[in-house]
Structure 1
């Protein structure tokens, strides 16, 4: 392996750290905050995608697309849940 450790590789390492950190958070916390969990996963997928666009690995790039889509879906669910519960909170 002769790939240099360039800026894009470093960006990819930060993306990896985000995804691993989000998984650790999911495992370590009793009731994880979906904004933290899915937001961190989305950031990680985005950073890894930047790296993979330069150092192309097609299977990994496809994986990051799915990872990002799942994170967006999780954030959308959290937003819809928040919108449903906001009127109830203001009535109390």
Structure 2
């Protein structure tokens, strides 16, 4: 196993961990959820650039885009909370 495969396994672990976190949590923190998904997609992309599998590479692009959209949505939601309310 080379370093790129190891990086890919770490990315896979991030994505599976984020899915478990979403399923197990009553109120998952969107920054943890989407941030972990984005990290996993980035790590898997590194692996896929060396060990190219085009369908999986495209999938990771969409996975990262959705995670970025989720993070942006979480930031907008956090910023919309009035200053008198506690931040999550």
Q: TM-score range by the shorter chain?
A: over 0.9
Per the alignment, residue 35 of structure 1 pairs with 31
Per the alignment, residue 64 of structure 1 pairs with 60
Higher helix share: 1
For structure 2, which runs of at least 5 residues remain unmatched after alignment?
none
Is 1:19 the counterpart of 2:21? The answer is no
For structure 1, which runs of at least 5 residues remain unmatched after alignment?
none
CA distance in 2, matches of 1:26, 1:80: 20
CA distance in 1, matches of 2:85, 2:21: 27
CA distance in 2, matches of 1:40, 1:86: 27
Per the alignment, residue 77 of structure 2 pairs with 81
User: TM-score scaled by structure 1?
Assistant: 0.90
* C-alpha deviation, 1:86, in angstroms: 4.2
SS in 2 for 1:26: helix
Per the alignment, residue 44 of structure 2 pairs with 48
Structural RMSD (CA): 1.1
